[in-house]
Amino acid sequence: MADPAECNIKVMCRFRPLNDSEVIRGDKYIAKFQGEDTVVIASKPYAFDHVFQSQTSQEQVYNDCAKKIVKDVLEGYNGTIFAYGQTSSGKTHTMEGKLHDPDGMGIIPRIVQDIFNYIYSMDENLEFHIKVSYFEIYLDKIRDLLDVSKTNLSVHEDKNRVPYVKGCTERFVCSPDEVMDTIDEGKSNRHVAVTNMNEHSSRSHSIFLINVKQENTQTEQKLSGKLYLVDLAGSEKVSKTGAEGAVLDEAKNINKSLSALGNVISALAENSTYVPYRDSKMTRILQDSLGGNCRTTIVICCSPSSYNESETKSTLLFGQRAKTIKNTVCVNVELTAEQWKKKYEKEKEKNKTLRNTIQWLENELSRWRNGETVPLEEQFDKEKANLEVFAVDKDIAIINDTPTPTIGVIGNFTDAERRKCEEEMAKVYKQLDDKVCITSYI
């Protein structure tokens, strides 16, 4: 992987228009907008990366929210886009929209088109392999939407300790039509129900995963990127939705999992030492998207109705907390055999340089302990040692085709070796300082 870089989660806010029932009820339109990044509710301003007013087109939302992430994924980064908000606030409209309507389609179908448009225009030496998965989290169980016999899949970790859904169907796709057919198939298997607030209320969280792997056939360089597209079920007040029976049980599970998501967001925003990712399947799956190796955009969807003012405020506060979270992203690059060989040789050279540094320090310390005053020109030169290690690290960075890392005296062995070296050299420096002080006093 390339050197990591920090980036904040982006939070976009979208307000839908008043719906028919709200207009009939005489609800007031409570949202007031200041510029393109601030909305005011009850005299309180809420600022985000962008705020979309009710008349904003699907195309504009896509261009501002998702277009850049598509390029990032094709350049080897991981990405996540998810919609959050109360029930009937426009989440599914934002993520899916009218799947086969050029004007009405949402983020997911537009991403599908853009991915292939980019691929068709790229260097002919690049070979792409794209596979997709589609699953839902229903009553805190993971159901494969492309194989309905898989109703309780489990979350595991890969070699990099990144969570993934084990056993989920993966389909290789070669065109936008194949992807859209897969989405249509999965969508037909998703749990929905009728409530007082939504005729097509999602009763589950759905996740559409796109895996993109590419290889340069000339250089054999390989990159990979994952894109999670998440349509969360909406939070509900049972008194408003009129949920009962099975629909009530679904509402309880939806609210519970959204509460777990809120707890994760709060813990990350507060830089807590413990983040409760394992409190729900959803937060476990999205662990890398929230505080991990991923470029993440959250679209918070809001109702402008006075009837939903408390829920809208809650959604806005969620978005403000999420906006403070930093992810650490890097390119997912797989080195070629030749690059691995060069990197191994450079790491050996770096290892030797660092061991020579330790030996020099130990010899100098021994001379001080024996009462000898070590001449300045024979004392350890920290700056020179830094430059030697930096030069080797620069070569390693070039092999990785990444920016040169910022390093100190101690380079990277294994984590255990690095910690041991840091501890030993800290002791050596302290003993040297103590010896110099004693000699000066004498």
Cα 277 to Cα 358: distance, rounded to the nearest angstrom:
41
Identity at 375, one-letter amino acid code: P
Average pLDDT along the chain, 442 residues, taken 10 residues at a time: 80 96 95 97 97 98 96 95 93 95 97 95 91 93 95 92 95 97 93 50 84 91 95 71 60 83 95 94 95 96 95 96 95 79 80 85 87 84 73 63 35 52 58 50 43
Contact 403, 393 (CB under 8 A): no
Count CA within 13 A, CB hemisphere, residue 120: 9
- What pLDDT, on a 0 to 100 scale, did the predictor assign at position 201? 52
E strand or H helix at 72:
helix 67-74
- What pLDDT, on a 0 to 100 scale, did the predictor assign at position 234? 78
- Contacts of residue 394, Cβ cutoff 8 Å, sequence gap at least 6: 404
| 3-class secondary structure, 385 | helix
Count CA within 13 A, CB hemisphere, residue 395: 16
29: alpha, beta or left? (left if phi > 0; alpha if psi -120 to 50): beta
Which residues fall in the annotated binding site for ATP? 85-92
Nearest residue to 100 (alpha-carbon basis) of 187, 212, 174: 187
Cα 233 to Cα 85: distance, rounded to the nearest angstrom:
8
| 3-class secondary structure, 371 | coil
- What pLDDT, on a 0 to 100 scale, did the predictor assign at position 204? 85
Angle of helix 107-121 versus helix 176-187 axis, rounded to 10: 160
Which residues fall in the annotated binding site? 85-92
Helices within 215-336 (DSSP H only)? 238-241, 246-269, 281-285, 309-322
- Nearest 10 degrees: Cα torsion 18, 98, 80, 203: 70
Nearest residue to 6 (alpha-carbon basis) of 418, 324, 342: 324
Contact 203, 194 (CB under 8 A): no
- Nearest 10 degrees: Cα torsion 401, 404, 405, 407: 140
Supply angle C-alpha 154, 95, 79, rounded to 5.
Answer: 60
Task: Copy the structure tokens of residue 377.
Answer: 């020109």
Cα 234 to Cα 93: distance, rounded to the nearest angstrom:
13
